[in-house]
Amino acid sequence: MFAFLLSTSENYISAVTSEKILLSNLFLKIFSNNNISLIFQIFMAWWFDIGKIFLTALIIFIIVEISEKNTLFAAILASIPIVSVLSMMMMYQEGQDAIEISQFAKDIVYLIIPSLLLFIVMPWLIETHDWAFYPALFIGLLSTIFGYFIMVQILEQFSITT
């Protein structure tokens, strides 16, 4: 039995040693001079994405905090196309062509119309039919999605958008 344990432990030690050699070779390949810039680019891309998420969350947080004191001012801030402007800036920063961003902006104009359905249907259901908030919000969102579907069909029929 002692011989079995000894041979098993020797196999384990040799397996661990070869694993360490393989891992060290992999580590050297990854962090060689050729790959340092690639690793830095990946790292910076992740930080840029984390920054975008943080900025978006911060904007939402600020609007919610302002709405507790002044709903009109919060509505003004929410109605400013902050997300669209930031999206276009980030698209440009990430290397998209100005023509593509221009098309994106035009597509937003066409899709604003059906997005207004949420702001028409939801208050109408709450104020005139005494609906609770979440069901009214849900129906407002469904009407907006339906409006998007109809608008996209219209745009495709007239070859207005790409």
Residue 13 has pLDDT above 90, yes or no: no
The percent of residues above 90 in pLDDT, for the chain, comes to: 54
Q: What is the pTM (predicted TM-score) of this model?
A: 0.61
Instruction: Report the mean per-residue pLDDT for the chain.
Output: 82
* pLDDT at site 27: 59
The three state secondary structure string of the chain is CHHHHHHHHHHHHHHHHHHHHHHHHHHHHHCCHHHHHHHHHHHHHHHHHHHHHHHHHHHHHHHHHHHCCCHHHHHHHHHCCHHHHHHHHHHHHCCCCHHHHHHHHHHHHHHHHHHHHHHHHHHHHHHHHCCCHHHHHHHHHHHHHHHHHHHHHHHHHCCCCC
Q: How far apart are CA 104 and CA 106, in angstroms?
A: 5
Could you tell me which residue, 13 or 129, shows the higher pLDDT?
129
What are the boundaries of each domain within the chain? 98-162
Could you tell me which residue, 149 or 43, shows the higher pLDDT?
149
* pLDDT at site 3: 47
Residue 42 has pLDDT above 80, yes or no: no
Could you tell me which residue, 93 or 128, shows the higher pLDDT?
128
**13-22, 111-120, 142-151: segment of lowest average pLDDT:** 13-22
Residue 130 has pLDDT above 90, yes or no: yes
Residue 69 has pLDDT above 60, yes or no: yes
* pLDDT at site 12: 44
pLDDT band at 23 (very low <50, low <70, confident <90, very high): low
